[in-house]
Amino acid sequence: MFNKPARPADIAKTANMSFSTVMIASNRTGKGGIHHFARKGFYAVTEKGKIALGLLNVSGQKAAGILRHLPVEKAFHFYADIGKPLTFPRKSWCIL
């Protein structure tokens, strides 16, 4: 889907999202230069968007490094407020 222009309805179906969610997101990503209008009714991901999405320059070794588990002392910790850590550290950068 990232290599050719696509209609918002097709993007919504592929991503299992509502059409309105895709349209709201497209307004934000369009302003950021992540996609452009390839032709009437079709969006295409720009080179900047491919880089932002990690679609370029990601080797298997780099992906494994991003997804690896970290020891607790190196994990990312979420905080509810200053000095109030939540009880679940993030042990890798893979999606929550």
> What confidence score (pLDDT) does residue 95 get?
45
DSSP symbol at 91 = -
**Helix 19-31 / helix 8-15 crossing angle, nearest 10 deg:** 110
Q: Kindly state whether residues 46 and 70 are assigned to the same domain.
A: no
Does 78 reside within a domain? yes
> What confidence score (pLDDT) does residue 55 get?
67
Query: Does the predicted model carry a pTM greater than 0.75?
Result: no
Does 22 reside within a domain? yes
Range(s) of the domain holding residue 38: 8-52
Does 2 reside within a domain? no
Residue-wise pLDDT for 85-94, tens only, equals 776 655 555 4
Q: Give the N- to C-terminal CA distance of the chain in Å, as an integer.
A: 23
Does the pLDDT at position 45 exceed 70?
yes
Q: Kindly state whether residues 64 and 81 are assigned to the same domain.
A: yes
Q: Kindly state whether residues 28 and 64 are assigned to the same domain.
A: no
